[in-house]
């Protein structure tokens, strides 16, 4: 797994998984994580979400992983840097509330909510 790769390789990163079926992952906590994602250059936030909910198109299906690129607190829109730009375009916007619902959606293969992976570059003192 990704976490094992980081740990076994003694790479200067930490990895944290946030499943959205945990009580502490409220919409407000989600917004705080998104704001941190775009303000801290040491963090990379990778969202795992339901494609049909995020794109508001139930002809699309399945889960997907993509990066948080930006957030506009005035419009409450998240800009996504997509990992499959040929299918979904390189960058697209999604209302934060809809993306939260797309991350809360249960993954049919694991019966858990989706969520996010947070990769953080460690300070030099932690290497």
Is residue 126 situated within a structural domain?
no
Is residue 11 situated within a structural domain?
no
The angle at the Cα of 1, spanning 54 to 27, to the nearest 5 degrees, equals 30
DSSP secondary structure string, 37-73? Answer: HHH-TTEEEEEEEEHHHHTT-TTS-SEEEEEEEEEET
pLDDT at 98 over 80: yes
- What are residue 83's phi and psi, to 5 degrees? -80, -10
For 75-97, the pLDDT digits (tens) are: 999 999 988 877 778 899 999 99
Question: How many alpha carbons lie under 13 Å from residue 30 in its C-beta half-sphere?
Answer: 28
pLDDT of the residue at 112: 84
pLDDT at 52 over 70: yes
Is residue 22 situated within a structural domain?
yes
pLDDT of the residue at 1: 65
CATH number of the domain within which 56 lies: 3.90.70.30
Is residue 78 situated within a structural domain?
yes
Mean pLDDT of the chain: 87
Structurally, the chain folds into a number of domains equal to 1
For 100-123, the pLDDT digits (tens) are: 999 999 887 887 889 999 998 888
pTM of the model: 0.84
The two tokens of residue 110 are 């694991």
**Range(s) of the domain holding residue 94:** 17-121
Is residue 60 situated within a structural domain?
yes
* Interatomic CA distance for residues 58 and 106, integer angstroms: 15
Is residue 2 situated within a structural domain?
no
Which stretches of 68-123 are DSSP H helices?
85-88, 96-104
Residue 119 pairs in a beta bridge with 15, 44
Is residue 68 situated within a structural domain?
yes
Is residue 12 situated within a structural domain?
no
- Percent of the chain residues topping a pLDDT of 90: 43
């Amino acid at each position: 797994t990704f976490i094992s790769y980081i740990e076994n390789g003694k790479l200067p990163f930490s990895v944290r998984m946030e499943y959205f079926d945990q009580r502490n992952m409220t919409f407000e906590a989600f917004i705080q994580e998104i704001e941190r994602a775009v303000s801290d250059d040491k963090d990379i936030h990778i969202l795992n979400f339901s494609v049909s909910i995020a794109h508001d198109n139930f002809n699309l299906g399945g889960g997907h992983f993509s990066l948080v690129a930006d957030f506009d607190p005035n419009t409450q829109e998240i800009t996504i840097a997509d990992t499959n730009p040929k299918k979904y375009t390189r960058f697209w916007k999604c209302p934060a509330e809809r993306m939260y619902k797309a991350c809360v959606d249960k993954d049919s293969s694991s019966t858990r909510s989706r969520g996010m992976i947070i990769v953080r570059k460690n300070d030099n003192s932690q290497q």
